[in-house]
With several copies, the nearest count.
Chain A
Amino acid sequence: MFKGHVYITLKEGVLDPQGKAAENSLDTLGFSQINQVKFGKFIEVELEAENKEEAVKQLKAISEKLLANLVIENYRVEVVEVDK
């Protein structure tokens, strides 16, 4: 059993109104040292696989097929084996 993480972020040049809104309210809240905020997704996955490579392959596959929209998003996967 493997545990994987998928990180989904917006591509350069794609507007991130959520990030902008956060920057503004942080400003009004007095957090003047915050320069930039970018919103993305953090997806935790539990999966079965022969080995780590196999697991990475699967995570990439589901990211490209379903979890991320490659027109606007980039993704990064990471596998953490679960010690039973």
Chain B
Amino acid sequence: MKFAVVIFPGTSGEGDVYHVLKNVLGKSVDYVWHAETDLNGYDVIILPAGTSYGDYIRAGAIARFSPIMEAVVAFAESGGLVLGIGNGFQILLEANLLPGALLKNKSLKFICKDSNLRVENINTFFTNHFEADEILSMPIAHNFGSYFCDEKTLEELTINQQIVFSYSSLDGKVPQVANYNVRLANIAGIINKEGNILGMMPHPERSSEEILGGTDGLRLFTSIINKLEGVGA
């Protein structure tokens, strides 16, 4: 199986996920320049973290119009697996491949730290190596990381189990409040209805080696590999 890591002008996080796939997992992976229009031969498309186009106007706003994005949309519509991390998530939202938007952090500051995540849905291509309600540690590093969508969309996300990761306390408690804003604020990653497009703000590629402090993130990638090689892709 083969991964593609898309590079847009100004993309800054491509090397981190590439390193995990190639050197940690020994998978074959290519960089694909945004001007390309063809994604044939790839099984998983990754829109990497960091920044693209300086995140000018809005993170992802310009990148979504890159030539490669038409191919990404087509690839996704045909059921191909697409993973957007951080900036990649923002691009998926701007491209309407996932619902909602990401707003500026409440603190108005960039935040770089480890976060605790609760796995809300382990029955996906991306999370089948996690355990139900398991608490993971993954770094976050973003400026626009607070997820937003309208109430109707939030209901759908909830009913269809599209919320895959929630921010959580160590003891796994995610305040199960009715308050819509608080519930929104806990969302760390969502998947589309069909289950082939995942967007998340935390960085699995930054928690895939012991030397970096943990390997929880690695299991997200092995989940993908497991599913695809399992079904002989």
Contacts and interface: CB of A to CB of B under 8 A. Distances in A.
Q: Do chains A and B touch in the complex (CB under 8 A)?
A: yes
A23 to B, nearest CB: 11
Contact of A15 (B53, B93, B146): B146
B103 interface: yes
Contacts of B150: 13
A17 B56 contact: yes
A18 B56 contact: yes
A66 B58 CA distance: 9
Interface string A14-32: 1101100110010011000
* B interface: dominant SS: loop
Contact of A17 (B54, B93, B94, B101): B54
Contact of A22 (B57, B94, B105, B106): B57
Contacts of B100: 71
Task: Assign chain A's interface to a size class.
Answer: 10 to 19
B62 interface: yes
Interface residues of B, number: 24
A34 interface: no
A15 B181 contact: yes
B112 interface: no
Given A17-B104, A17-B108, 17 more contacts: A13-B150, A15-B148, A15-B181, A17-B105, A18-B56, A18-B57, A21-B53, A21-B56, A25-B53, A25-B57, A66-B65, A69-B61, A69-B94, A71-B93, A71-B148, A72-B103, A72-B148
Interface of A: 13-15, 17-18, 21-22, 25, 28-29, 39, 66-67, 69, 71-72
